[in-house]
Amino acid sequence: MKGLILKSTGSWYEVEGEDKEIYAARMRGKIRLDGIKETNPVAVGDYVLLQIEKDKEGVITEILPRQNFISRQSVKKTGHAHIIAANIDQALLVVTWAKPRTSLGFIDRFLVAAESFRIPQIIVFNKEDLLNDEERKEIENLISVYSSLNVKCILLSAKNEEVGQLLFPILQNKKTLFSGHSGVGKSTLINQLGNINQKTSLISDFSSKGIHTTTFAEMFSLDENTYIIDTPGIKELGLVDISEEELSDYFVEMRELRQSCKFGSRCLHHHEPSCAVKEAVSTGKIAQSRYSNYLSMLLGEDNRK
């Protein structure tokens, strides 16, 4: 029977069968994974073949081909990637201005990673209730920058009971990955979406770093075709396998301009003459923050391989 991985704890997997029943499954021996250097062979969102053994237990005999996946570099093994989730339709990044602070660099790296996996992006600016007037203006500014890049942006408070209704139409009939730093409110938001009860942190100011309330990625079904994935807070999303020349392809506003650069697809938009991207930055068509973050990624200030 075909199944969908809802949760992985290392040796056991929670799998939703085609019959919509939930099975506890393990892997049969070693599944051959040619050339794959991942620390986890089966990820949340993977479709697998499941052989039922006894009551609600089974064995995974095969992993079906992935449509896509999103990964980060493994903390433990360099050169290895850790698959966060597979077969997702969109990635939703929860961002907070403070408590904890989400930097623009982190947002842009996340968008680049998602774009490189061809996964559409949504940004939820959470904890609206904590913003003063000035901060709200800054957020509105960001919303206009990112909306112009085809990123759907929403400003809300996850504690507000109406957010479920607001968000559901955006998630309907899709598989959505929720990510963001620890403490931004991913689980709080997810708990507003249905009959889900994810543990949330009791510490609301999140001054104490390094505490993760959610420890495993887990997929929840909101209805037959709607799934969301809660993940543990990500500190860094290492970009895997993006070359210097390729990088600006994942900045959508730069990708559009590339053909107008004198050096065309060889232009790194750094020191080259007659560069359409640098021109667009100087006239304000491309946000300065986006260009700065592009340069810091290009110059390897963020461990890009």
Residues making contact with Zn ion (CB under 5 A): 261, 267, 269, 275, 277
Q: How many beta carbons lie within 10 A of that of residue 53, not counting itself?
A: 13
Indicate whether 213 belongs to the interface with Mg ion (CB under 5 A). yes
The item of ligand GTP, Zn ion, Mg ion, none sharing an interface with residue 212, based on CB under 5 to 8 Å by kind, is ligand GTP
Q: Is 293 in the site for Mg ion (CB under 5 A)?
A: no
* Amino acid, single-letter form, for residue 9: T
Nearer Cβ to ligand GTP (201/248)? 201
Contact status: 129 vs ligand GTP (CB under 6 A): yes
Residue 102 near ligand GTP by CB under 6 A: no
Distance CA 286, CA 291 (A): 7
Q: Total binding residues for ligand GTP by CB under 6 A? A: 24
For position 187 contacting Mg ion by CB under 5 A, the verdict is yes
Continuous segment of H or E residues that includes residue 4: strand 2-8
Nearer to Mg ion, 176 or 187 (CB): 187
d(CA 3, CA 50): 6
229 binds ligand GTP (CB under 6 A): no
Distance CA 275, CA 294 (A): 15
Cβ-based nearer residue to Mg ion, 60 or 217: 217
Helix residue ranges, H only, the chain: 104-116, 133-147, 163-171, 186-191, 244-247, 252-255, 276-282, 288-298
Strands 121-125 and 218-223: what pairing?
unpaired
Nearer to Mg ion by Cβ, of 187 and 293: the residue is 187
Task: State the minimum distance, in angstroms, from the CB of residue 94 to Mg ion.
Answer: 10
Amino acid in position 289: S
d(CA 25, CA 120): 31
- When the beta carbons of 43 and 281 are compared against Zn ion, the nearer one is 281
Residues 8, 74, 200, 293: which binds ligand GTP (CB under 6 A)? 200
- Closest CB to Zn ion among 228 and 267? 267
Which residues have C-beta within 8 Å of that of residue 102, sequence separation ≥ 6?
A: 95, 96, 180, 181, 184
CB of 201 to ligand GTP, least distance (A): 4
CA angle, 273 then 274 then 280, to 5° = 120
Tell me which of 66, 152, 212, 270 binds ligand GTP, using CB under 6 A: 212
Residue ranges in contact with ligand GTP by CB under 6 A: 126-127, 129-130, 157-159, 180, 182-188, 200-201, 203-204, 212-214, 232-233
